Amino acid sequence: MSGPRRTPAVPIDPAEVQITAVRAQGAGGQNVNKVSSAIHLRFDVAASSLPEDVKQRLLALRDARLTRQGELIVKAQQYRTQEANRQDALQRLQALVDSVAQAPRERRATRPTLASQQRRLQAKSRRADIKAQRGRAGSGLF
């Protein structure tokens, strides 16, 4: 949980994040049944103050946490305390936004080198020789 602090590429306004405490799932005995230590974080991407290009890349992600309405839902229940789960959820949201903050580099088409083309053709002919030897002896094919 702790580590070197990085400044986020695109900071998220905490007022735009809706945080709800819920009961965690899974094992944990009495504590998990009584205490609402898990966190549901909701972030409306379309209505946020993020830059428009970041919003578009975030909405274009094929992520199960993104609803059809453009809301990003993060559930954090890894830790025993509500505060630790809140920090985890906020960090995961920030990491997701940071991952799309920088536009992807445009790919420039390149041609395969002559050596790589020759290696490919040699591998194909070796494979063809192996397959040609698989026939029954004396079957009259050759």
Residue 87's domain is classified under what CATH number? 3.30.160.20
How far apart CA 5 and CA 99 sit, in angstroms, is: 16
How many folded domains does the chain comprise?
1
pTM of model > 0.85: no
Q: Is residue 138 part of a domain?
A: no
Strands 17-22 and 71-76: unpaired
Task: Look at residue 141 in the predicted model and tell me its pLDDT.
Answer: 56
- Residues paired with 21 in a beta bridge: 39
Q: Which domain holds residue 96?
A: 14-101
Q: Is residue 48 part of a domain?
A: yes
Average pLDDT over residues 85-112: 86
Token digits for 6? 């990085």
Is pLDDT above 90 for 42?
A: no
Q: Is residue 137 part of a domain?
A: no
How far apart CA 76 and CA 68 sit, in angstroms, is: 21
Q: Is residue 4 part of a domain?
A: no
Q: Is residue 131 part of a domain?
A: no
Least confident of 1-10, 58-67, 90-99, 117-126: 1-10
- Residues paired with 44 in a beta bridge: 71
